[in-house]
Amino acid sequence: MRVRMIAIGVAVMLALGGCGAPEPRAQDISLWLVQGSTPAPVQEYLIQQYAIYNGGRLSISEMPARAVVVRGFEAKTGDFERPDVIEMPDYATTTLAANEAFSDISDLYSSYGGSHLVSALTDLGIYEGKHYTLPYQFTTKYVYYRKDIWALAGIEKPPSTLDDLHQGAITVTDKNPRRIDDFSGFFLANQDWHDGVSWIYARGGEIARRGEDGLWESTLSDPQTLSALRELQQLHAGANRAPWDSPVDRPWIYLNDIDWIYDETGTNVPTSVSAATIMADDSMRTRVGDRVRTEMGTRTREWNSDTFGAFALPGADGGVAPSHLRGSTIGIIASSPRQQGARDLLDIIYSRDFQTMLGRVGLGAGNEDYWEFLGDDEFAEMTTAIARAATSTPTAPGWLYVEQSGELQAFFTRVVRGGDIESLASQYDDILTPLLNTLEPPG
């Protein structure tokens, strides 16, 4: 890729030299990334390659996801400091596109991969038929489980259908073969709707849809969605015995034999295994395993396939469920005066070399042609299978406001705590439908 970029750069300079009129191609641009999304060596690669390809300087800034979203709105007007290219969290992409924050890059879609770009994230960047962002990277969720505890409960193989998972988790809970206090066959986060919505998708339900009049409506009251919610409620009742206020940001502590967590006073409190199954991001597998000491004397986690296992959330009839895919997209800020430089940076990002690099550092690349570089072990195969089957959040213009409102989280929390599902679904359909169709930030 480096040779190709140099060759392109030489060709461009020769063409400009022969013509004499155009200004030099070089432009100094800025890229804003979500904090922690892109390792330092990958950022350095972008800076070096941009200097070769464009001749200008690329500066990169990182900030928390919420700050990136706010800055995306500010950049629309051009009255604030703005980037030229920006990484956008999946949940904010469609709303920013609907608010005309990004440049139309539909002409780049095919050359950057077209239908080979991960569809669940591609769809988020489409508004009124135009592409405003493209997939940058993604993360999937595995179901991690304790093989040893499931085996002690009489279940030797991972479940192959959603029903098998439900029944297996309840059986493991009831048998509790190691007699653990507050033991859960399946620990599911009470305050996180992202896990719950996967059950709806797996059963063929939806949480929102666009009507023939072009307006969006919340569909929590649809029959298939209600059926999936009843299943989820039953699973929580039968397999999730953890206290309601259990921390959800470190789910691996419930699976490991020994771990630690900070309590409300900041004290580091030891924990022990209290669940046989969890759902967590693919990157969390480095946090699951036996606690061992390295040659340097530091403590780390080592995956032990005799004790631990992982599988994709199974579908209703087997295979892989169409679960909720999280990730980010990337686009060009519409008000940037350096559109050519921004496009040159996208050329680099969607090049084979960069997409390959993402895979080699363990990130899900936007173009599935390069997923082979994630590796060839069971985890790489699982990640790609989940990503291919995955679906996105609704591409409604107001989806960002749905997430920011906390109403969807409140709905799922009340469902899993035993609330009347039909009544709650009707109540929250009325709350969410106006938000789905909101363009400007509420209030």
pLDDT along the chain (443 residues), means of 10: 36 36 73 95 96 96 93 75 93 95 97 95 96 96 96 96 97 96 88 84 94 96 96 94 74 87 72 91 89 81 94 94 92 95 97 92 90 87 93 94 94 94 98 94 68
Examine domains 2-138+326-389 and 141-311 and report if their fold is the same: yes
- Second-level CATH architecture of 2-138+326-389: 3-Layer(aba) Sandwich (3.40)
The pLDDT, as a whole number, for residue 374 is: 84
The pLDDT, as a whole number, for residue 300 is: 87
Topology of domain 141-311 in CATH is D-Maltodextrin-Binding Protein; domain 2 (3.40.190)
Q: Where are the domains of the chain?
A: 2-138+326-389, 141-311
The pLDDT, as a whole number, for residue 80 is: 65
The pLDDT, as a whole number, for residue 191 is: 62
The pLDDT, as a whole number, for residue 15 is: 35
Q: HEC string of the chain?
A: CHHHHHHHHHHHHHHHHHHCCCCCCCCCEEEEEECCCCCHHHHHHHHHHHHHHCCCCEEEEEECHHHHHHHHHHHHHCCCCCCCEEEEEHHHHHHHHHCCCECCCHHHCCCCCHHHECHHHHHHHEECCEECCEEEEEECEEEEEEHHHHHHCCCCCCCCCHHHHHHHHHHHHHHCCCCCCCCECCECCCCCHHHHHHHHHHCCCCCEEECCCCCEEECCCCHHHHHHHHHHHHHHHHHCCCCCCCCCCCHHHHCCCEEEEECCCCCEEEEECCECEEEEEHHHHHHCCEEEECCCCCEEEECCCCCEEEECCECECECECCCECEEEEEEEECCCCCHHHHHHHHHHHCCHHHHHHHHHCCCEECEHHHHHHHCCCHHHHHHHHHHHHCECCCCCCCHHHHHHHCHHHHHHHHHHCCCCHHHHHHHHHHHHHHHHCCCCCCC
